[in-house]
């Protein structure tokens, strides 16, 4: 019996963008600002296997934030560690990070 492919479970994107699939999300005009947060709180998707440029850029951003705030993120969200990346982060995004972590923690 053939198995049907399973759709990745998205944690933030349905609430933040109103989309149900990653494909729909990648066509949303705000995806570039939100995708790194989804990657940060969601390890149920094999992000590194996706060859989309937006995903690759967002993954790098998520790794930078995870490296900087590993203890905080690990305390609020259950996920496998992201690769270390000591590159710069945009400090203006702290509020987005806090809101996303609060949302993911409350809906876990």
Three-state secondary structure string covering the chain: CCCCCCCCCCCCHHHHHCCCCHHHHHCCCCHHHHHHHHHHHCCCCCHHHCCCHHHHHHHHHHHHHHHHCHHHHHHHCCCCCCCCCCCCCCHHHHHHHHHHHHHHHHCC
- For residue 6, the model assigns a pLDDT of 61
pTM: 0.92
Tens-of-pLDDT digits for all 108 residues of the chain?
Answer: 554 456 779 999 999 999 999 999 999 999 999 999 999 999 999 999 999 999 999 999 999 999 999 999 999 999 999 999 999 999 999 999 999 999 999 998
- For residue 4, the model assigns a pLDDT of 46
- For residue 8, the model assigns a pLDDT of 78
- For residue 7, the model assigns a pLDDT of 72
């Amino acid at each position: 019996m053939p198995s049907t492919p399973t759709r990745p479970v998205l944690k933030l994107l349905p609430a933040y963008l109103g989309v149900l699939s990653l494909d729909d999300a990648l066509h949303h005009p705000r995806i570039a600002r939100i995708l790194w947060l989804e990657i940060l709180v969601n390890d149920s998707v094999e992000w590194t296997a996706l060859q989309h440029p937006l995903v690759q850029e967002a993954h790098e951003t998520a790794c930078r934030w995870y490296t900087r705030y590993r203890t905080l993120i690990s305390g609020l969200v259950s996920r496998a560690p992201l690769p270390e990346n000591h590159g710069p982060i945009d400090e203006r995004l702290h509020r987005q990070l806090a809101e996303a972590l609060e949302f993911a923690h409350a809906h876990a």
